[in-house]
Amino acid sequence: MEEGDPENFDRLGTLGIEEEFFIVDADGRPVSGTDELVYGPTPPEVLDGRLDHELFKCVLETQTPLIEEPSEARETLLAVRDALVEHASEHGYGVAAAGLHPAARWRELEHAEKPRYRSQLDRIRYPQHRNTTAGLHIHVGVDDPDKAVWVTNELRWYLPLLLALSVNSPYWNGFDTGLQSARAVIFEALPNTGIPTAFDSYAAFERFETTMLETGSIDDRGELWYDVRPHSAHGTVEVRMPDAQADPERVLAIVEYVHALVVDLCARYEDGESGTDHRRELLGENKWRALRDGHGATLLGRAFEETHPLLELVEHEADRLDTPGLLDLLDGESGAARQRRLERQHGFDRLCGSLLLEQA
């Protein structure tokens, strides 16, 4: 794991996009394939050094190259996805995306053999053994460590809004959970997850990281799996709240908003704006509303004195930051609603097929 260092926070506005995907067979069911795709023949150039597996052998992660300008995000994301689909197809696999794959039954799937994951299975036990989750992680460069911590603190209120827009995991272990993002619940059973508390400064955050490492609470900094975190190795603020998405347009809309939000918060920090001190419990209530109700959620406002329909909050944010893609995310059915409709109207096979990535 790369070392954390406050000097890594030296660039503002760069982007990195990490996506977790399911490797599936010809029937669209998750299957162990990371040995071939990650450790087999050299992958396409854009994936070289940017393709890794996750806890299960049916889940892998891609990372984009560093994106210097937001205008380059579309081309870069599509190039990585196309390369992955081609690479998987050459080995007889498909690639699917959702927060949880509806056909992934954790007791029947193989865990990765990588020592890092074996250690986690030994320490975390049951919650990690069943962790078949897949998320979308967005890194935005920040040019000062204290600024990065302040932005992380302020981002916490916006996270449930992102989750409500991205809900894409109603099924787990083959059954309908009644939730819109069951992934958020399954993942939060792990330690060091959820919406974090606020930190007064980078020094305070660094002391926390060091304490967790020196007490053996975590093996590396990457095991601080909070929904948002300053990434002290990359010099970024990393947003980890959204469910994985098959549709790249949905990913790009989320990325556009997160980037605009971080840049806006950086400017507010530089203007000397006072930070907020939201209680984690109230932020957690908003997250619960988001994962339970998705597009139908009403969320507590920034003062936590009244609730607002998701549409009202999204319209405000889209107008404030000139990110119209947010409204596109809310227009029509959510990923979770789409999954349920396809299963109801066409059956489980059609549902699984709908999660496949297509090559552009």
The tens digit of pLDDT for each residue in 52-97 reads 989 999 999 999 999 999 999 999 999 999 999 999 999 999 999 9
Per-residue confidence (pLDDT) for residue 157, from 0 to 100: 97
Spell out the long-range contacts of 41-44 with Cβ–Cβ below 8 A and sequence spacing 24 or more: 43/83, 43/87, 44/83, 44/86, 44/87
Catalogue the E-assigned strands of 25-70: 51-53, 59-63
Closest CA to 79 of 41, 33, 44: 44
In a domain, 69, yes or no: yes
What residue type is assigned to position 221 of the chain? R
The count of domains in the chain is 1
CA-based nearest residue to 243, from 257, 229, 254: 254
Instruction: Give tens-digit pLDDT for 293-316.
Output: 999 999 999 999 999 999 999 999
Does the predicted TM-score (pTM) go above 0.95? yes
> Is 359 within the bounds of a domain?
no
| Angle formed by the axes of helices 248-270 and 310-321, nearest 10° | 70
Structural domain contains residue 234? yes
Task: Specify the pLDDT at position 332.
Answer: 85
| Percentage of residues in the chain having pLDDT higher than 70 | 99
- Which pLDDT does position 41 carry in this prediction? 82
Q: Which two tokens stand for residue 134?
A: 């897949």
Residue 1 lies in a domain: no
Strands 228-231 and 236-239, sheet pairing: antiparallel
Average pLDDT of the residues of the chain: 96
* 3 pLDDT more than 70: no
Q: What is the mean pLDDT of residues 25-33?
A: 96
CATH number for the domain harbouring residue 314: 3.30.590.20
Buried b (16+ CB within 10 A) or exposed e, 149-167: bbbbbbbbbbbbbbbbbbb
Whether residue 124 is contained in a domain is answered as: yes
* Domain enclosing residue 269, as ranges: 6-353
- 59, 225, 328 from 231: Cα distances, Å: 23, 11, 30
Residue 360 belongs to some domain of the structure:
no
DSSP, res 62: E
CA torsion through residues 12, 13, 17, 18, sign: positive
Q: Is residue 358 part of a domain?
A: no
Note whether 133 and 98 are within 8 A (CB). no
